[in-house]
Amino acid sequence: MEPERTAREKREAAPRQYLMCRPTYFDVTYSINPWMDPNRPTSPQTGLAQWKGLSDTFAALGHDVRLIEPVPGLPDMVFAANGAIVVDGKALVARFRHAQRQGESAAYLEWFGRGGWSAVGQAEYVNEGEGDFLFTGREFLAGTGFRSDPRAHDEVAAFFGRPVISLTLVDPRFYHLDTALAVLGDGEVMYHPAAFSAASRAVLAERFPDAILAEEADAAVFGLNALSDGRNVVLPRQATGLAARLRERGYHPHGADLTELLKAGGSVKCCTLELRR
């Protein structure tokens, strides 16, 4: 058997700790991204059942799911990825671009303030947490163009003492980095080239020559809004093309149905903030 194949079959999962927020008050009452249409009805029951399916999937994969209490009047709070960046036991709480979400920061400051972290701060510049900052294990890939301020990239580098690679998003449907790129582990990523500026596409191609490049159809169902533990990749069930590509590379894809939350422009990764001690 070729050595590469053997390595791929040995992909190992590491148990993770995730922070999630039950979609108790989920709704689409305003529009801050092209997916959100306040005139289209939402179903709280379906949203809750789908979210529960996702948290059950994480638990079945052996991950530790922690919860932050949802706050009435903050319908997007289910998208916990945006609340902070947590690496090396340090937490940098988000500063949201839009007024409708700014109240979420206080809830995260309170949650992280309960202890267990070597440093807790709030970002000075607009910084939408893991929505725009993806940790590769060594450095951050950081998105800008729609939400996080480019100055937040320097702030993150200084706070965590880790390199930050800036990437510019250009398609409003993929307004956060985690809607256009996912870190799979071990220097591997998957992304949608058309979501990035030409300069950022060049950076990605140079840095990740073996990346899985998503087709438009998979990107359009938020297939890149995925979460990997190094072996298992949880991604929207509709992204069948990406699931096949992941299987070829020795990953184990797990489809999750989050169509109700996609009405707000979020899916698997948006619902999940990784807590790295």
Q: Could you tell me which of 270, 227, 225, 273 has the C-alpha nearest to residue 252?
A: 227
From residue 173 to residue 212, what is the string marking binding to ligand ARG with x (rule CB under 6 A)? ---x-xx---------------------------------
CA distances 35 to 161, 173, 180, 232, 240, Å, are 35, 7, 15, 27, 21
**CA R_g for the chain:** 17
Minimum gap (Å) between residue 97 Cβ and ligand ARG: 8
Binding of residue 32 to ligand ARG (CB under 6 A): yes
When asked if residue 144 is in the footprint of ligand ARG (CB under 6 A), the reply is no
List the catalytic residue out of 153, 192, 254, 270. 270
For the bound state, the minimum distance from the C-beta of residue 148 to ligand ARG, rounded and expressed in Å, comes to: 11
Residue 256 touching ligand ARG (CB under 6 A): no
Active site residue 270: yes
Binding mask 74-113 for ligand ARG (x = CB under 6 A): --x--x-xx------------------x------------
Active-site annotation holds for 63: no
50 binds ligand ARG (CB under 6 A): no
Closest CA to 85 of 162, 187, 156: 156
- Given a contact cutoff of 8 angstroms between Cβ atoms, the answer to whether 203 and 163 are in contact is no
Burial of 225-256, coded b for 16+ CB within 10 Å and e otherwise, reads bbbbbbbbbbbbbbbbbbbebbeeeebbbbbb
Q: By CB under 6 A, is residue 270 in contact with ligand ARG?
A: yes
Q: Which region holds residue 222: left if phi is over 0, alpha if psi is between -120 and 50, else beta?
A: left
Residue numbers annotated as active site: 176, 270
Q: Which residues bind ligand ARG (CB under 6 A)?
A: 32-33, 36, 76, 79, 81-82, 101, 131, 176, 178-179, 264-266, 270
